[in-house]
Amino acid sequence: MDNGIISQVGIGTQNERSLHAALKQWYSMPGDQLEVSKDGYIIDIVRDDLLIEIQTGNFSAIKKKLQTLIRSHKVRLVYPIPRDRWIVVYNENQKDVIRRRKSPKTGEIIDLFAELVRIPTLINQDNLSIEILLIQEEEIRCNDGKGSWRRQGISIIDRRLVDVLEQIIFTCKEDFLSLLPGNLAQPFTNKSLARDLGIRVSQTQKMTYCLKKMQAIKEVGKNGNALLYQIF
């Protein structure tokens, strides 16, 4: 695979279109088949007996497709998480860049659970694996007056791939347990897990929800109003 910078020459009219196309280009290898029909669905990449689906949006949109395909095929769901993001704002006619700045927000593997809450039980299916790509991307915006008032009318119109930094594959629930701190005291709460990981409690709540649905952890009681969890 080529890990070099991938640039897009045009501005997409549908959010995430450029990012999806660039990731498919980056991920594909010689011998792969692209856009193949299987079981009534179009598959991004077919590599021997593996179906590869690149999902740049929310997992609800692909849940039914995954449920159908994993009945008879091995499926890998590829999901990009932007570790670094640059905000690029174009003028109204989308010809000239007004400004480009780096977002202070950084993404991390834990962000996966914000989407995984939609399909946590599918992880226990032998035919499904999930691959996270930590990427650098540009978020393309247009000063067209049609966007959110929070952005002063600026619209988000596309995402572009800049580089792929890291690949992490999860094939079973045990792989997700590797994201827990090695010295995590048992039992633990969402608050103690958040403290050990240095993240927000709202993030660990999604994490423990998914791990519980996967049957990787279980509830073992309460400490006041806080649920106590323990690894199986």
Q: Per-residue pLDDT for the chain (232 aa), expressed as one digit of tens each?
A: 444 444 443 443 344 489 999 999 999 999 999 999 999 999 999 999 999 999 999 999 999 999 999 999 999 999 999 999 999 999 888 888 999 999 999 999 999 999 999 999 999 999 999 999 999 999 999 988 777 777 777 888 899 999 999 999 999 999 999 999 989 999 999 999 999 999 999 999 999 999 999 999 999 999 999 999 999 8
Closest CA to 172 of 117, 116, 128, 232: 128
Alpha-carbon gap, residue 118 to 58, rounded angstroms: 9
CA dihedral for 199, 110, 21, 43, sign (positive or negative): negative
Alpha-carbon gap, residue 15 to 19, rounded angstroms: 9
Q: Are strands 97-102 and 128-142 parallel, antiparallel or unpaired?
A: unpaired
Position of tokens 């890998």? 76
Tens-place pLDDT, residues 11-63:
433 444 899 999 999 999 999 999 999 999 999 999 999 999 999 999 999 99
DSSP letter (8 states) at residue 197: H
The 3-class SS string of 134-193 reads EEEEEEEEECCCCCCHHHCCCEEEEEEEEEEEEEEEECCHHHHHCCCCCCCCCCECHHHH
What's this model's pTM, rounded to 2 decimal places?
Answer: 0.88
CB 147 within 8 A of CB 141: yes
The residues spanned by each domain of the chain are 1-171, 177-232
Alpha helices in the chain (DSSP H): 17-27, 63-69, 113-116, 173-177, 190-197, 201-213
Residue 178 contacts by C-beta under 8 Å, 6 or more apart in sequence? none
Is the domain covering 177-232 a CATH 1.10.10.10 domain? yes
